[in-house]
Structure 1
Amino acid sequence: MFDTSILFFLLFVVIVFVVKTVNVVPQQHAWVLERLGKYHATLGPGLKIVLPFIDRIAYKHSLKEIPLDVPMQICITKDNTQLEVDGILYFQVTDPMRASYGSSNYILAISQLAQTTLRSVIGRMELDKTFEEREAINHAVVGAIDESATNWGVKVLRYEIKDLTPPKEILHAMQSQITAEREKRALIAASEGRKQEQINIATGEREAAIARSEGEKQAAINRAQGEASAILSIAEATAEAIRKTGSAIREPGGEGAVNLKVAEQYVEAFGKLAKTNNALIVPANLGDISGLIASALTVVKSQEGRGKA
């Protein structure tokens, strides 16, 4: 019985020795090893051998990106308005040794620093700017925290504001302002539409008037050109007729033909005068028709002489 107890004791000691000696560090983890109470090494992923009762795994850190919820707090803006703000911070342990010995609680330190930095950044902004400059606030918080977190072996990756909640009175006033601004934009848009409509109508009327005037101008030009062409054609025809008449007179028998034509026109003219009036018009010297014909011939010859000159 005694021998069996010793055997079990020895077996227990061996198991404890093996458990204390052989350690397996998971992937994306780092363990801080102390030897006799002093920092000795940082164990990376894999199988690690330590000395039992001499070495001790003092700290275990995850090297993954860690989200940290920053509690909601009340911040005062530059225009003295209270604003409830909360956010989420993402960080990663980059130096396990510093994370172990640089701060007693680096997570609490990061959270508190994020809150104080956020109050400082928002305190330099007016209320309206806090809603417009979220990205700038996030970058400012990350820059301020990351500078201090380096001593704690931590890298701050980013900070995101989740909610910005002003008091109910401010929310109501902002809603009223937004409604008024939308109504203002609607009125401006309607007036711009009416203005553009009037401009379009005036432009259309002006272009139509110009088109009509251009049409009338072109029609007048066409009529004038037509009338000029007609007058020129008549003048050319008359001149040609006179030239042909003169040529015909110079031919044998031409003078007699002219005498006959003048006599016919003379008689025809008196006949028309007689038809247009109730009274019959008779020439004073009816027997001197041959004299009139001679006078007409004299005129024709004089015109012919001028044409030759």
Structure 2
Amino acid sequence: MTQVFYWVPVALLGFFLLLGAFFIVKQQTAVVIETFGKFSSIRNSGLQLKIPVVQRIAGRLSLKIQQLDVLVETKTKDDVFVRLKISVQFQVIPLKVYDAFYKLQSPQDQITSYVFDVVRAEVPKMKLDDVFERKDDIAIAVKAELNDAMVDYGYDIIKTLVTDIDPDVQVKAAMNRINAAEREKVAAEYEAEAERIKIVAKARAEAESKRLQGQGIADQRREIARGLEESVEVLNNVGINSQEASALIVVTQHYDTLQSIGEETNTNLILLPNSPQAGSDMLNDMIASFVASNQIGEEMKKQNTRKSKKSDSDNLDDVEF
């Protein structure tokens, strides 16, 4: 009975030692095994075996791609303080798990230090606008520096990104005002151009309207003149001379006008004078104005002829023989 109680603890101890000899390594993970505190081996994913008590798991390293976001505040060339967010994607090199585990205590702190160093060396060379335009150059410079430094520690820098550029609040407000002013300027230029186009189009339309109106009036007067000419010719054929024909046409049109006015019940047009003698007086006045105009024209022609002869005479006197 005593022997039974003795073997039970031994069996339990053996069971737990055997159970502790097996362990599982997850996918994309590396486990560092030490024997009595000294590096022994690196185990990859799957069911693994170690010697209980003699060997232990010193640590586990993820082989997945990890991301570290670093906020850096620095000053640009034009003395503007700006905060940049640098996202660094890094990964443990599978063949350098030993270096990644034993050479570097805190890879995140090391990467952060290099990011600060590179950004504060590159950004002060640029103006604020250049920082926005050349953010890819900053990211490339950070990646190149980190690759040279971290590869010795077993880390590979996959990619670096400048994900955010945040200037000082007052600078952002000033930039917004500048952009708003630029947009208002462009809008004013477009509005002025649109107004100019409307004015030009309206002027062209009015000019075309006046031209067509003048052409219509000219055609109307031409047709009236042609009609009068035909009327006079018809009256001459029946023995009525030109003056009598003109008087007849004027009187006829005068009465036609009176008739058309009388046909409109709501008209407020009054033709003055409207007596039978009015047509004759109108014709006499027209004839008198035509005669006076012809006399003035003949007198101007005579004056021009005398001036021309006098000028020719003066020119002959100046000629020396």
TM over 0.5: yes
Larger Rg: 1
- 1:45 correspondence with 2:49: no
Contact 2:72 2:119 survives alignment (8 Å): no
Listed as ranges, the matches of 1:258-269 within 5 Å are: none
Aligned residue for 1:63?
63
Match of 1:113 in 2: 114
Compute the displacement of 1:2 (Å).
4.8
Q: Which amino acid aligns with 2:103?
A: G
* CA apart distance, 1:150: 1.0
Query: Closer, same or farther in 2 for the Cα pair 1:140/1:36, shift >3 Å?
Result: same
Counterpart residue type for residue 58 of structure 1: A
d(CA) in 1 for partners of 2:91, 2:42: 17
Inter-CA distance 9–183: structure 2 relative to 1 (3 Å threshold): same
Q: How does 1:201-240 map to 2 (within 5 A)?
A: none
Residue in 2 aligned with 1:161?
Answer: 162
Write the deviation string for residues 101-153 of structure 1: whole angstroms up to 9, x where unpaired.
22121122112222322222322221122223333333332232122111121
Q: Which residue of 1 aligns with 2:27?
A: 27
Find the residue that maps to 1:107 and give its secondary structure: helix
Displacement of 1:100: 0.6
User: Partners of 1:91 and 1:130 in 2: how far apart?
Assistant: 24
User: Compared with structure 1, are the counterparts of its residues 88 and 200 closer, same or farther at alpha carbon in structure 2 (3 Å cutoff)?
Assistant: same
Contact 2:82 2:167 in 1 (8 A): yes
* Deviation string, structure 1 residues 238-279 (Cα, Å, up to 9, x no partner): xxxxxxxxxxxxxxxxxxxxxxxxxxxxxxxxxxxxx99xxx
Deviations 1:175-232 (A, max 9, x none): 21111111122123334445666787899999x8xxx9xxxxxxxxxxxxxxxxxxxx
How far apart, CA to CA, are the structure 2 residues paired with 1:50 and 1:185?
75
- Change in CA separation of 1:44 and 1:193 when aligned onto 2, cut-off 3 Å: same
Contact 2:83 2:166 (8 Å CA) reproduced: yes
Q: Provide closer, same or farther for how the CA distance between residues 89 and 203 of structure 1 changes in structure 2, counting only shifts above 3 A.
A: farther
Question: Using the alignment, how far apart are the partners of 2:151 and 2:204 within structure 1?
Answer: 69
Is 1:173 matched with 2:168? no
Partner of 1:182: 183
In structure 2, the CA distance between the partners of 1:190 and 1:49, relative to structure 1 (3 Å rule), is same
Quote the Cα distance in structure 2 between the aligned partners of 1:101 and 1:45.
Answer: 20
Report the Cα offset of residue 46 of structure 1.
0.8
Deviation at 1:14, TM superposition (A): 1.5
Cα drift, residue 29 of structure 1: 0.7
Matched, 1:90 2:84: no
Please provide the CA RMSD for this pair. 3.3
Paired with 1:115 and 1:15, the residues of 2 have a C-alpha distance of 53
Corresponding residue for residue 78 of structure 2: 79
What does 1:117-156 correspond to in 2, within 5 Å? 117-156=118-157
Aligned with 2:41: secondary structure? strand
Alpha carbons of 1:59 and 1:200: their partners in 2 closer, same or farther (altered >3 Å)?
Answer: farther
| Structure 1 residue 42, shift from structure 2 partner | 1.6
- Tell whether the 8 Å contact from 2:90 to 2:155 is kept in structure 1 after alignment: yes
Q: Which of 24-33 and 61-70 deviates more?
A: 61-70
Distance 2:135 2:2 in 1: 75
Q: Distance in 1 between matches of 2:187 and 2:31?
A: 64
Deviation of 1:99 (Å): 0.8
Structure 2's unaligned 5+ residue stretches are: 213-239, 242-321
**Counterpart secondary structure, 2:142:** helix
Residue of structure 1 in register with 2:295 after alignment: none
CA contact (8 A) 1:75 1:122 kept: yes
> Aligned letter for 1:59?
G
Could you say what secondary structure the match of 1:114 adopts?
helix
Cα shift readout 1:35-80 (whole Å, capped 9, x = no counterpart)? 343333221111112222332322211111222232x332111222
Corresponding residue for residue 104 of structure 1: 105
